[in-house]
Amino acid sequence: MHQCCINPSILSADFVNLESELARIGSADAVHVDVMDNHFVPNLTIGLPVVERIQAVSRLPLDVHLMIQDPDRWAPGYAEAGAESVTFHVEASAAPVKLARDLRDRGAKAGMALRPATAVEPYLDLLPELDMLLIMTVEPGFGGQSFLDVTLPKIRRAADAVAGSGLPVAIQVDGGVTEETIYRAAAAGATVFVAGSAVYGAEDPDAAITSLRNAAQKALSRD
């Protein structure tokens, strides 16, 4: 049986009270931090100084997702800040292999993200350079969107490629993750799940994490 990870996205949290919002997700595996620059995506969130402060107060490791232009320049700084994993978008990177190696050299796990319409096949040769492959299940840029089932075949192809390679690369999904959709994503082969509204929109975020974990584990236990 594969084990799943639930990484709540603080994009759906109260930004005025981030430290107390972190305390509400103590049962999570990591904190998913969305960095948006209003260029690669049409939204602006937080940058490195805020992430450094989150890193300083969080009891959970940080899973940083960079939705920014020129990640080759900016991503290593997030690794140096202590993030456990840093994920960049392949559509924005000029040299993804070099960037993944730079992240690992700085002590972070290297993640690579693909937008829903980006095919995974051209990048499968990069799997040895990666620790995680993020398949976006919504268009990046905003929380609260509905899960795109059209991405499920891509998740399956990515998971099959990882299994065939024998490499310890996690398949992460981000966008529209609920108790219903997490089962389908897990059945397709994903093992790391980003959930924002489903967690922070719940009265008890920790209970929501448990429900999501149980739903995913039910699908993963079929293997």
Residues tagged active-site: 34, 174
The end-to-end CA distance of the chain, in Å, is 6
Structure tokens at 182: 């997490």
State how far the Cα of 75 lies from the Cα of 105, in Å rounded to an integer.
12
Helix axis angle, 71-80 to 48-57, nearest 10°: 20
State how far the Cα of 159 lies from the Cα of 152, in Å rounded to an integer.
11
| Pair 118, 86: CB distance under 8 Å | no
State how far the Cα of 127 lies from the Cα of 125, in Å rounded to an integer.
6
Dihedral, CA atoms, 198, 145, 37, 131, nearest 10 degrees?
Answer: 60
Which amino acid is residue 169, in one-letter code?
V
